Amino acid sequence: MKYRKALQGGFTLIELLITVSLLAILLAMVGSLTGGWVDRAQAQGAQSNLKAAISRARAAAIRNPENRPANAAAASACIDSTALTITVYQITGANTACDASNTLLRTATYAAGVGFSQAGASVSCFVFSPNGIVIASGSCATTLETITIKKKNEEEVIDAI
């Protein structure tokens, strides 16, 4: 009677270590790639929200239900970096551009870490006259040309809305 040595199946410890190491390297690469995608999507979302807010503020200013004079502020789009919101107000009475006692028209949120700038300076608001033109008001932007929205290394640019 002949005895056969049973073949043992399975993997050696070295094979398992190599497989686990390769999987860890692949997961690390995928994680860094998806981080860039998420940042880009958040910057694009903030860009879209800002464009919509500016369009809504301009339209509200042109409607001018308060019958404000041509050189006065009629509506504003305000960026609150603490609450992470972009808010559109119809300016009422003697209120200032981003005063919460104005008539609220729209609020949109954006992701943490997203920054808004123009010519290297941070932007916090845009104010419109009843003619739909951006006007100077406090520390608000005085033009709509080249607004940069940035999250980490991902950047979106709005040119002359």
**Nearest-5° Cα angle at 91, 88 to 95:** 120
Q: What is the rounded distance in angstroms from the CA atom of residue 27 to the CA atom of residue 97? A: 48
82 CB-contact burial (10 Å; exposed 0-12 / middle 13-18 / buried 19+): exposed
What pLDDT does 1 receive? 59
Domain 14-158's class? alpha beta
Q: What is the rounded distance in angstroms from the CA atom of residue 62 to the CA atom of residue 84? A: 27
What pLDDT does 132 receive? 94
Q: What is the rounded distance in angstroms from the CA atom of residue 153 to the CA atom of residue 35? A: 10
Q: What is the pLDDT of residues 111-148, one digit of tens each?
A: 999 999 998 899 999 999 999 999 998 889 989 989 99
**Paired tokens of 153:** 């290394």
Beta bridge partners of 90: 75, 103
Has this prediction a pTM greater than 0.95?
A: no
Residue 110: band (very low, low, confident or very high) from pLDDT cuts 50, 70, 90: very high
Q: What is the rounded distance in angstroms from the CA atom of residue 126 to the CA atom of residue 83? A: 17
